[in-house]
Amino acid sequence: MLDWTAVDTVLLDMDGTLLDLAYDNHFWLEHIPKVFAEIQGLGLEEARTQLNAQMSATQGTLDWYCIDHWTNTLGFDVREHVRNTAYQSSARPQVFEFLDFLRAQNKQVLLVTNAHHVVLDSKLANIDLRPYFDHLVTSHQFQAPKESQAFWFSFARSYPFNPRRTLLIDDNETVLSAAKQFGIEHLITLRQPDSTEDIKTNTLHPAILHFDELFA
């Protein structure tokens, strides 16, 4: 599916790619609505409705991913809830075997995430991905999400790479389309970012279920 001799640089998303998105979905769709409902004295359904309205207004922007934004908007310390629940996050199947493979192949490997630094730090404290990466990059350092061209131009200036010889693996297909527009040659998405959800059969970009399809 992929000619590794044509790839020098591998860019890997974190949530839904290396880590199971089940944690994030549970955090945002169950845990946070419950806390918000308790604090506001609302029923759970009313809390969900209010949250959904606020969240859909920011989808695809950096605020959507910004824990400081949600702390200010929701009126309680979302950072604390991230720190206290991140132990529940887990790696997707074959992640460490794949990262070992990339190391053995001497690829330049970067973690490129939209996750806020509080989320990144909390998850890395639970699952230490650091040793496998040349750099860990969050889009918050460029004030632009991976969905935007602004991100890719700023990122490429700070971490030079040849887009024609680069692979991006990301469960977010809007991000993959933005990367394609920027000129990144090799793009792969995931069929099951959340282990508790159905396997996707229709994707815009080439897709894998698990990483063994790339290195076994």
Instruction: List contacts with Mg ion (CB under 5 A).
Output: 13, 15-16, 171
Nearer to Mg ion, 36 or 155 (CB): 155
Query: Which stretches of 34-134 are assigned E, i.e. beta strand?
Result: 108-113
Nearer to Mg ion, 24 or 214 (CB): 24
Residue 16 C-beta: closest distance to Mg ion, Å: 4
Closest CA to 205 of 111, 112, 7, 185: 185
Nearer to Mg ion, 13 or 147 (CB): 13
The residue of the chain with the least Cβ separation from Mg ion equals 16
Residue 170 C-beta: closest distance to Mg ion, Å: 6
- How far is 149 from 99, CA to CA, in rounded Å? 27
Residue 47 C-beta: closest distance to Mg ion, Å: 25
Tell how far CA 171 is from the center of its chain. Answer: 7
> At 169, which helix (H) or strand (E)?
strand 166-169
Tell how far CA 121 is from the center of its chain. Answer: 13
Residue 115 C-beta: closest distance to Mg ion, Å: 8
Nearer to Mg ion, 171 or 194 (CB): 171
